[in-house]
Structure 1
Amino acid sequence: MVTTCYFVRHAEPNYDNHNDYERELSEKGERDRHLVTAFLEDKGITAIYSSPYVRAKETVRPLADKLGLAVIERDDFRERKITTDWIEDFQAFSQQQWADFSYKLADGESLSEVATRNIAALEQLLEEHEGQNLVVGSHGTALSTIINHYDKTFAYADFERVKGLMPWIVVFRFEGKTCLSIEEVNLFEL
């Protein structure tokens, strides 16, 4: 039985809000999230999960409302914690993390730690929803580490390539816990 997981990277956030947990969508993000609903509404979705971060939940909420489903928060799908302070040179920091998956700042997480908790949460969903079609509201870095887990060729250059894609969907197909395929969907090219 094939289980399909549609990971949805959130739409554009309001970058003026530096609170990572509470950062809401920008006006553009609020408009663009409807691209997610249009793409997924006929995919036979049976459950919708999300990171607890506001921007991720807000991105999948219109789909949940349309399908009459709840958005179920799973803390382990949250974005990586960089540090307690705002980082000005995000690109240099990201390059360092992709070069060394164990690298992290004080009070932050390494990409290895982000991948470990996201994969554990995903594998739990695969057990709970075998043969179903699921949606998971996610984030750029967290989602990139999941792709990298199953496809080691996905690296920093790919992360840079998709950095501006918000929202962005990645479709994973599984048989049991074996990843059969990974498909990127650029909603702006449909």
Structure 2
Amino acid sequence: MTNIYLVRHAHSVYTTDEHSRPLSEKGLGDAAEVTKILKSENIHVVISSPYKRAIQTVEGIAAYIEKEVEIVEDFRERALTDEPAEDFTKAITRVWEDFNFSWDGGESNVAAQERGVQALFDVLERFEGQNIVIGAHGNIMVLIMNYFDQVYDFAFWKELAMPDIHKLSFEERALKWVERIGGFE
């Protein structure tokens, strides 16, 4: 079995700079809790989206296992629009209603899912039989999970905590089960 721990980043301070948005004080505290939870999971590898908030959420477990966080660009959050959406709820609902739809400058669910799943398949191939943490974001995380089982949908995304951890267990490329770990709200 290869175990993937998809970690949605902790709470961040909102800025329009997606790449550099840091965790808030609450987020930093929750990131420490993520580390505490993952210490008992025999983690071998830590990977992250290039966005600061995702890296900060998983860098504690990387330090604990004395490894660097490997950055994988394709685990970045999906681009919703090229400019901040006037009505985020309307914008995000629309892309989940039609997986092929994209706003100007944004990615459709199909495109973002394809990118994320291909990155996951690469990780599964490179680290077969290991326990891998991936610091990610809510939309890309659920789109990856949705590829394997459509129960992971928009309603599921809306219920995610920040942070949140889902352990996905694979035999080669076949998802065998999913378990939520940690008790974040």
- Normalised by the length of structure 1, the TM-score is 0.94
SS of corresponding position for 2:116 = helix
Partner residue in 2 for 1:175: 171
From 18, 21, 45, the equivalent of 1:20 is 18
| Superposed CA offset, 1:126-165 (max 9, x none) | 1111110000000000001011111112222111122xx1
Q: Quick one: distance in 1 between partners of 2:140 and 2:52?
A: 15
| Matching of residue 69 in structure 1 with residue 67 in structure 2 | yes
SS of corresponding position for 1:29 = helix
Q: 8 Å contact 1:49–1:137 — kept in the other structure? A: yes
**Consecutive unaligned residues in structure 2, runs of 5 or more:** none
Partner residue in 1 for 2:5: 6
Q: 8 Å contact 1:22–1:54 — kept in the other structure? A: yes
SS of corresponding position for 1:182 = strand
Give the % identical residues. 37
Shift of 1:43: 1.0
**Consecutive unaligned residues in structure 1, runs of 5 or more:** none
Q: 8 Å contact 1:36–1:187 — kept in the other structure? A: no
Q: How does 1:122-161 map to 2 (within 5 A)?
A: 122-161=120-159
Shift of 1:118: 0.6
Once superposed, what is the RMSD of the aligned Cα atoms? 1.1
Q: Quick one: distance in 1 between partners of 2:150 and 2:163?
A: 23
Q: What is the identity, as a one-letter code, of the residue corresponding to 1:167?
A: P
| Superposed CA offset, 1:52-101 (max 9, x none) | 00100011011111210110000010000112211131111111111101
From 120, 127, 145, the equivalent of 2:118 is 120
Q: 8 Å contact 1:52–1:74 — kept in the other structure? A: yes
The number of aligned residues is 185
Q: What is the identity, as a one-letter code, of the residue corresponding to 1:119?
A: V
Q: Select between 97-106 and 81-90 the one with higher mean Cα deviation.
A: 81-90
Q: What is the identity, as a one-letter code, of the residue corresponding to 1:74?
A: V
| Superposed CA offset, 1:97-131 (max 9, x none) | 11101111111101111110110010011111111
Q: How does 1:43-122 map to 2 (within 5 A)?
A: 43-122=41-120
Q: Quick one: distance in 2 between partners of 1:4 and 1:127?
A: 12
- Normalised by the length of structure 2, the TM-score is 0.96
Q: What is the identity, as a one-letter code, of the residue corresponding to 2:5?
A: Y
